Amino acid sequence: MTVAHVTGAARGIGQAIATRLAEDGHDVAVSDLPSMAEALEETRSKLESTGVRAIALTGDVSDHDSVRALVTDTATQLGSLDVMVANAGIAQTKALLDVTPEEFDKVLAVNSRGAFLCYTEAARQMIDQGTGGKIIGAASIAAHKGFPLLGVYCSSKFALRALTQAAAQEWAPHKITVNAYCPGIVDTTMWEEIDHDLGEINHMGKGESMKAMAAGITLGRVSTGDDVAKLVSFLAGPDSDYITGQSILVDGGMIFV
């Protein structure tokens, strides 16, 4: 039985990923901020109902000690760490000239530093175990193209894409693959917040900003967490053993590279 850990799993894409990995037969540790503990426990209970072992852990991915504890507790309580999904992230919608250095640091602390900490601490655990593993990060279409009013968010996701490429090359001798998934517009709370903030800036009503961006989706609809979870399921399983260093788009056809 393999063990997976999914950060930012109390809701949205993270919850969908954790659910799919449990359905695939992985034992799963889910984590999120302490403020999300109640929702996180609901996720854990749902996973356990599928017949796998599941634990809920709280922590902050931008804090090194916290990430070390998440990895250690997962391996101690479930026996190993074989799949790390660094899913936790935050968004910011703001013109670059209005962004403060403190706001810039906050976004990169979660999206870039957080990914670095999850990647490296998971890799240390996997190397110690000696059985390889899968490390998977949450990138975005914003890791392939810069978007106005999302400049800081894009910067953080471009950084994660570069980290993924470098880590894949460094850890290949240890039979660890490192890949990232790149969602487009997903029907989640985060995208509702982005829609709201874009609407405030551009004087548009609720849902109008998302609708305008979604008009460019080739398949004609925004995605769901399950769409993303299917890709992560593949990256976490044996069928992706010969894929590493990739940041794979799962956006319905918004960005073509």
pLDDT given for residue 199 in this prediction: 67
Interatomic CA distance for residues 210 and 251, integer angstroms: 14
pLDDT given for residue 216 in this prediction: 83
Digits of tens for pLDDT over the chain (257 positions)?
899 999 999 999 999 999 999 999 999 999 999 999 999 999 999 999 999 999 999 999 999 999 999 999 999 999 999 999 999 999 989 999 999 999 999 999 999 999 999 999 999 999 999 999 999 999 999 999 999 999 999 999 999 999 999 999 999 999 999 999 999 988 777 766 776 676 677 677 776 767 777 778 999 988 999 999 999 999 999 999 999 999 999 999 999 98
For the annotated catalytic residues, the residue numbers are 153
Which two tokens mark 159?
């950084």
CB 163 within 8 A of CB 123: no
Q: 32 - beta bridge partners?
A: 58
Decide: helix, strand or coil at residue 8: coil
User: Residues, the chain, total?
Assistant: 257
Q: For residue 29, give the H/E element and its range.
A: strand 27-32
Interatomic CA distance for residues 47 and 55, integer angstroms: 9
pLDDT given for residue 191 in this prediction: 65
End-to-end CA distance of the chain, in Å? 36
pTM of the model: 0.93
